Amino acid sequence: MNRLVCILTAGKGTRMGPYASYLNKATLPIKKKAIISHIIEKFPKKTEFIIGLGFLGDQVRDYLEIAHADIRFHFIKIDKYEGRGSGPGYSLLQCKDKLKNPFYFVSCDTLWSNKIDLNAQNNWMGTAQVSTKDTQNYCNFKIDAGRIVSIKDKQKVDPLTHEAFVGLCFVKDTDIFFQGLENPSLKTGEVQVSDGIQALIDRSTVEARHIDWIDVGDEDKYKREVSKYENYDFSKSNEVLYILNKRVVKFFAEKSFAEKRVRKASLNPSVFPHIDKYINNFFSYPFIAGKTLYQSSTFPTFHKLLTWLDKKLWKKVASVDRQAFQAICKKFYYDKTLERLDLYYRKYSYVDAKTTINGIKTPKTRELLKQIPWNSMYEGIPSFIHGDLQFDNILYNHQKDSFVLLDWRQDFGGVVEYGDMYYDLAKMWGGIILNYDLIKLNLLKYEEENDGIYFDFAQRHLTKNYLQILEAFIKKKDLSVHKVKMLVGLIYLNMSPLHHSPFDKMLYSLGRQVLFSTLQDHGENK
């Protein structure tokens, strides 16, 4: 008989703060794997999993089917996953028909580092010590000679005499357990697992097993665990990257983003990974060996890349109506910039004002925007583009001498088939100045003082050299370097509200600084 494991993912995860607005708690990433994947990998391959679905249940199902195609899942829809009478005990009762044999139960926010006994002969509960102030948040057990003798659920207790239930257990006597759940006493308005455990204590043997518990059940605990593996939270609030089982899985909160990215990849398969799985908000492709250009670039490699991009990526589109394309560029450059600035201002209740940035008096942002020659900015070059062409999104395989482009933008002003080549050039220029791999190492500084704003960030020694190579390429193509630099400033401003502090504030100030210096330089060279 295969082992049975029940994982409940039905709850809304309100303690996860803003994360819960677009992700089910079970699919939150840690070390580029969803929490639920970390749990699944603790059990043998032939284990069968019963998954309770509720809040964002389709998301959980889609993730598991695309990330763990070789695992057998039984999905149970929980008809009540919020409000009075809901709770883990109620969800377990909904899964009862699939849990007639002994099973393991795991909360979807419970991780652990030690090995557990998968050949147990008795019921057991995973336990760990918590601080006195935290005991009232948990189900607490009194333990005598390795056995659980009583429960105090959601009550303050002495941690010297009690240990907390970690959300991991083995239920051998399933009939007794479910009989206890069928006549529950609500705690904090919910049906808890404790009534089933109490029945086991009264009528059977329940052992206590020490668990090296990693609790990721609320926003602070989750962030603390993530910070062990990431120096800086560079994540976006509308997409997630997972890497597991030699595959890359991408999730987008906006379903249309996934559909457009899949469609765009099919239009130019010679530059993108081959997407072989696509379900609603998810798509995936086999992991590709190689290093990002931040890790592997040399001057010859960069020259080779620009030649490859010019041949393979930037394919001109001749049949585009000029006025229609100008309108698309206006929507993407001007309208979107105003929308993103509004997001930033609302995020910090910010009032646009003149500011001293790194010792230079800088005009208001709206004054800088007025000085931009917008009509010339809308005169783009319609071609197939990547849309986020910085070195972190370019893989180079030295052995094969080949490039692959990752994490492409889904559209340009709503259009999937083409965009403005200038935008790709500006993204690349901006990514050479601001090395995003170094930002992920938290190698930046931002301070607000009475006399202005000061920021700094790590750069590579050869930054100027790479910019000179790119500038020479732009001029050889008879394109405007000034226009590229102007777009770089706009790109930083557009990025600012999408990231976390202090990177978002640094981006906003850097965008203003780049625009101001570029406008001044252009004025002096007219």
Q: What is the pLDDT of residues 106-158, one digit of tens each?
A: 999 999 999 998 888 899 999 999 988 888 888 899 999 999 999 998 888 88
Alpha carbon distance 97, 365 (integer Å): 62
24: number of Cβ within 10 Å: 27
- The fraction of the chain above a pLDDT of 70, given in percent, is 99
38 in Cβ contact with 30 (< 8 Å): yes
Which sequence spans correspond to the domains of the chain?
4-226, 290-524
pLDDT in tens, 210-239: 999 999 999 999 999 999 998 877 777 789
Q: Each residue of 500-525: pLDDT tens digit? A: 899 999 999 999 999 999 999 866 44
The pLDDT of residue 526 is above 50 = no
Q: Which CATH number fits domain 290-524: 3.40.50, 3.40.1350, 3.90.1200, 3.30.70?
A: 3.90.1200
CA–CA separation, 246 and 286 (whole Å): 6
Question: CA 429: distance to chain centroid?
Answer: 25
> Would you tell me the crossing angle of helices 421-433 and 463-476 to the nearest 10 degrees?
160
pLDDT recorded at residue 135: 87
CB 26 within 8 A of CB 36: yes
Residue 222: C-alpha distances to residues 111, 115, 245, 381 (Å): 11, 22, 23, 44
Number of other CB atoms surrounding residue 475 within 10 Å: 11
279-333: pLDDT as tens digits: 999 999 999 999 999 999 999 999 999 999 999 999 999 889 999 999 999 999 9
pLDDT, tens digit, 9 for 90 and up, residues 43-95: 998 999 999 999 999 999 999 999 999 999 999 999 999 888 888 999 999 99
CA dist., res. 481 & res. 426, Å (int):
9
Q: What is the mean pLDDT of the chain?
A: 94
Q: pLDDT tens digits for 344-376?
A: 999 999 999 999 999 999 999 999 999 999 999
The string of DSSP codes covering 437-493 is HHHTTT-EEEEEETTEEEEEE---TTHHHHHHHHHHHHHHTT--HHHHHHHHHHHHH
Does pLDDT of 161 surpass 90?
no
- The helix (H) or strand (E) run that includes residue 256 is helix 255-267
Superfamily of domain 4-226: Spore Coat Polysaccharide Biosynthesis Protein SpsA; Chain A (3.90.550.10)
Closest C-alpha to 27, from 220, 222, 277: 222
pLDDT band of 176, cuts 50, 70, 90: very high
